[in-house]
Amino acid sequence: MFELTEDQIAIRDMARAFAREEIAPHALEWDEAHHFPIPTLKAAAALGMAGIYVRDDVGGSALSRLDATLIFEALAEGCPATSAYLSIHNMVAWMIDRFGAPEQRTRWLPKLCAMDIVASYCLTEPGSGSDAAALKTRAARDGDHYVLHGEKQFISGAGASDLYAVMARTGGEGPGGVSTILVEAGTPGLSFGANEKKMGWRVQPTRAVIFDGVRVPVENRIGAEGDGFKFAMAGLDGGRLNIAACSLGGAQAALDKALAYTAERKAFGKAINQFQALQFRLADMETELEVARTFLWRAASALDRSDPKATRLCAMAKRFVTDAGFEVANEALQLHGGYGYLADYGVEKIVRDLRVHQILEGTNEIMRVIIARGLVARGN
Ligand SMILES: Cc1cc2nc3c(=O)[nH]c(=O)nc-3n(C[C@H](O)[C@H](O)[C@H](O)COP(=O)(O)OP(=O)(O)OC[C@H]3O[C@@H](n4cnc5c(N)ncnc54)[C@H](O)[C@@H]3O)c2cc1C
């Protein structure tokens, strides 16, 4: 439980080497230019990182959720936002692998695992974020097609992705009326809003996705009508682990920068890491990340075992690790003094990128709602 196997160490080292060579040297430039690094993502796919927990008969790597957290943490040491996008793509690939029909698996997954096509996950709408089951995008049946009308908001990768996993209403109100439907880029009636101007996550586009009479064959529906909300939530259990891992990797990189900087920077005649007040802060940062990592692995292993408590543990991990990761990154910025505020030092980008992890894939307040639900039920 607390030691990695040789295989896991090899997986982590492979992802870490990729992050060091292919991601980290470009991350600041990509952020400044708002550049979405698709060729780099494809190179990651060639190493098995685009279908991490997809079965291997369709090109997946058939690894565990714990393995995935190691990969996303390592990639995030190079750039949290690049790593996080890959996490979303993996989430969609897994939903098709887990809930799709055999023909859907063979049609989409080899291309998704190779990243010949790139995927987006479309749940949030302008009028429904936390209350996702109130979504209004409608998919009306018309013979052997659905016709989609509505709008999704804040969709990562929108406009650049080739495939959109859309949660749309095929039935009545509430979660039981939602289905998951795959929509291909280029389908008439599908359009996108402007690329949002954001605090962080600038290496990936975020746009509204607009459906104006988009006709999609019924065979693009994943699973049964009305099961889409369950699939969306199941995808998010793993997505939350991955986002937490991205926070961990970003925060670790920020701490490493702070360690190097405080060893070098002098004040009052000595290196600032000689002040015990700073040493205590560094010690607390290291402790926070070790605790976060240990718990993240526990939650990932619960999901791997299909533990009935897995959803709650994933929510706890997402809440705790993304909060701890942001605090550590922000503290690392503080330890850089004024230089931490300058883009060239790379810490402010990490802080900006990690901030949104406390908001998306369910806000950290919604994580508390999920955790408290089980607790209150226990008290009854
Ligand atoms: C950069 C970025 C990328 C994103 N990418 C995607 C994506 O790819 N796909 C996708 O589907 N979505 C995506 N999202 C959307 C994201 O998941 C939502 O923004 C998030 O779920 C919150 O929804 P909301 O913004 O509507 O906030 P709201 O739901 O309006 O919440 C506002 C505030 O109220 C709080 N709140 C709401 N309900 C409760 C409650 N019951 N108890 C306590 N507090 C509550 C929230 O925690 C929050 O603080 C992205 C968002 C961002 C910013």
Residue 378: per-residue pLDDT: 83
Using alpha carbons, select from 259, 258, 285, 284 the residue that is nearest to residue 340. 258
- Mean pLDDT for 141-170 is 98
Query: Are the CB atoms for 120 and 153 separated by under 8 Å?
Result: no
What's the pLDDT band for 161 if we cut at 50, 70, 90? Answer: very high
Assess if residue 1 is contained within a domain: no
81: exposed, middle or buried (Cβ count in 10 Å: 0-12, 13-18, 19+): buried
Q: Compute the distance between CA of residue 363 and CA of residue 356 in angstroms, rounded to an integer.
A: 9
Reply yes or no on whether the pLDDT at 321 is more than 70: yes
3-state secondary structure of 2: coil
Among candidate residues 192, 226, 260, the one where a domain is terminated: 226
**CATH (domain of 171):** 2.40.110.10
Reply yes or no on whether the pLDDT at 165 is more than 80: yes
Using alpha carbons, select from 128, 59, 123, 58 the residue that is nearest to residue 88. 123
Give the chain's length: 380
Instruction: Establish whether 361 is a catalytic residue.
Output: yes
Query: Are the CB atoms for 278 and 262 separated by under 8 Å?
Result: yes
- As given in the structure block, the two tokens for residue 253 are 């990189």
- Mean pLDDT for 171-200 is 98
- Mean pLDDT for 211-230 is 98
Domain that holds residue 138: 120-226
CB atoms < 10 A from the CB of 287, how many?
A: 12
The residues near 279 (Cβ < 8 Å, ≥ 6 apart) are: 273
Using alpha carbons, select from 64, 360, 89 the residue that is nearest to residue 201. 360
- Asked whether 123 lines ligand 1 (CB < 6 A), one says yes
33 and 51 together in one domain: yes
Residue 379: per-residue pLDDT: 81
**CATH (domain of 359):** 1.20.140.10
CA of 39 to the centre of ligand 1 (A): 29
- Asked whether 261 lines ligand 1 (CB < 6 A), one says no
- Asked whether 360 lines ligand 1 (CB < 6 A), one says yes
Reply yes or no on whether the pLDDT at 1 is more than 80: no
Nearest-CA residue for atom 12 of ligand 1: 124
Q: Compute the distance between CA of residue 129 and CA of residue 52 in angstroms, rounded to an integer.
A: 27
- Asked whether 205 lines ligand 1 (CB < 6 A), one says no
246 and 194 together in one domain: no
148 and 186 together in one domain: yes
The percent of residues above 70 in pLDDT, for the chain, comes to 99
Residue 377: per-residue pLDDT: 83
Among candidate residues 95, 118, 141, the one where a domain is terminated: 118
**CATH (domain of 111):** 1.10.540.10
Reply yes or no on whether the pLDDT at 325 is more than 70: yes
Query: Are the CB atoms for 118 and 38 separated by under 8 Å?
Result: yes
Assess if residue 96 is contained within a domain: yes
18 and 105 together in one domain: yes
| Cα–Cα distance list, 137 to 35, 243, 283, 327, 330 (Å) | 30, 26, 49, 37, 38
DSSP H or E run through 27: helix 27-33
Nearest-CA residue for atom 50 of ligand 1: 154
CA of 257 to the centre of ligand 1 (A): 31
Residue 175: per-residue pLDDT: 98
146 and 182 together in one domain: yes
Quote the number of domains for the chain: 3
248 and 360 together in one domain: yes
81 and 133 together in one domain: no
Reply yes or no on whether the pLDDT at 344 is more than 80: yes
Nearest-CA residue for atom 40 of ligand 1: 366
239 and 249 together in one domain: yes
Residue of 124, 137, 318, 358 to mutate, ligand 1, most atoms within 8 A of C-beta: 124
66: exposed, middle or buried (Cβ count in 10 Å: 0-12, 13-18, 19+): buried
Assess if residue 156 is contained within a domain: yes
Assess if residue 286 is contained within a domain: yes
- Mean pLDDT for 329-353 is 98
The percent of residues above 90 in pLDDT, for the chain, comes to 97
Assess if residue 73 is contained within a domain: yes
Residue of 121, 199, 360 to mutate, ligand 1, most atoms within 8 A of C-beta: 360
- Asked whether 356 lines ligand 1 (CB < 6 A), one says yes
Task: Scan for tokens 């505020």, then name that residue.
Answer: 341
Reply yes or no on whether the pLDDT at 57 is more than 70: yes
| Cα–Cα distance list, 165 to 103, 227, 269 (Å) | 16, 13, 58
235 and 352 together in one domain: yes
- Mean pLDDT for 343-350 is 97
Give me the chain's average pLDDT, please: 97
Reply yes or no on whether the pLDDT at 380 is more than 70: no
Residue of 36, 130, 206, 366 to mutate, ligand 1, most atoms within 8 A of C-beta: 130
- Mean pLDDT for 254-278 is 98
Reply yes or no on whether the pLDDT at 2 is more than 90: no
90 and 219 together in one domain: no
246 and 171 together in one domain: no
User: Dihedrals φ, ψ of 209, to 5°?
Assistant: -120, 125
Using alpha carbons, select from 25, 22, 54, 53 the residue that is nearest to residue 39. 22
Reply yes or no on whether the pLDDT at 10 is more than 70: yes
Among candidate residues 118, 146, 177, the one where a domain is terminated: 118
The residues near 102 (Cβ < 8 Å, ≥ 6 apart) are: none
220 and 260 together in one domain: no
Name the catalytic one among 73, 125, 151, 361: 361
Reply yes or no on whether the pLDDT at 374 is more than 90: no
